[in-house]
Amino acid sequence: MRESYELAGTRRERVGKGAARALRREAKLPAVIYGDKKDPIPVSLSYKDVSLLIHGGGFMTTVGTIDIEGEKHQVIARDYQLDPVRDFPMHVDFLRVAKGATLTVNIPVHFENEDIAPGLKAGGVLNVVRHEVELNCPANAIPEALVLDLSTAELGDTLNISSIELPEGAEPTITDRDFVIATIAAPAALKSDEDVEDGEEAEGEEAAATEEAATED
């Protein structure tokens, strides 16, 4: 779990595009805190501090604290907007986190031991089906990443969510099947050779059948 953070914020008296642009000119970032059956609070935060958090990784899976003039709110980022051209933060939505809450979060999947995986050493290709897994987990125990060990993965293997050891109290939001995370696919050259062999075998069987039919006639 990534280390928590604390941001200092102030309440915004004005909202809207014009007010947001004015804040950004002052190196401030507009944001809102919502949820937990309480009224939303429009706030302004340090642009620099939030930008560092966003680009530092793990921002959407880390519970932090926003101090608004002495009133502290435990939150987790639920969404943020970036400028489509310059890629800098424009706005952030924070969800209040109640004590003992369970949150639904998207956790990235990391793959380890690719260098010793038998299937990859044999020329196979790691085909990632899910780069993230949606989990329900306690707010105080959100993992930074899920780790899938490839040290014994063979050519043609299918690696499911059951191959990953989940943190205590965490479970996937998909519960009706052991869904696929990745596969070790055969290399294109091997597939081509197999296709040729299959084709030649089929042609041989067809020729034999034709010859047998001719003999019967």
Q: Which of 30-39, 59-68, 139-148, 196-205 has the lowest mean pLDDT?
A: 196-205
Quickly tell me which residue has 């302004």 as its tokens.
Answer: 44
| pLDDT over 70 at 198, yes or no | no
Instruction: Write down all domains in the chain, each with its CATH number in brackets.
Output: 6-98 (2.40.240.10), 103-186 (2.170.120.20)
Quote the tokens at residue 148.
């899938």
Q: What is the mean pLDDT of residues 20-26?
A: 86
Whether 190 has a pLDDT exceeding 60, the answer reads no
Contact by Cβ (8 Å): 69, 51: no
Q: Can you give the pLDDT at residue 120?
A: 96
For all residues of the chain together, what is the average pLDDT? Answer: 87
pLDDT of residue 22: 87
Rounded to an integer, what distance in angstroms lies between the CA atom of residue 110 and that of residue 118?
18
Q: Which residues face 105 on adjacent strands?
A: 135
Q: What is the mean pLDDT of residues 60-81?
A: 95
- Structure confidence at residue 125 (pLDDT): 95
pLDDT computed for residue 16 by the predictor: 79
Residue 143 CA, chain-centre distance (Å), reads: 12
CA dihedral 109, 112, 114, 119 (to 10 degrees): -80
Out of 35-44, 152-161, 189-198, pick the least confident: 189-198
User: DSSP letter at 195?
Assistant: H
Confidence (pLDDT) at 15: 77
Which secondary-structure segment (H or E) carries 94? strand 89-96
132-138 β-sheet, strand order? 146-149, 102-112, 132-138, 171-172
- Percentage of the chain lying above the pLDDT 70 cut: 86
pLDDT tens digits for range 71-127: 999 999 999 999 888 888 999 999 999 988 999 999 999 999 999 999 999 999 999
Q: What are φ and ψ of residue 137, in 5° steps?
A: -150, 160
* Cα–Cα distance for residue pair 152/84, rounded to 1 Å: 42
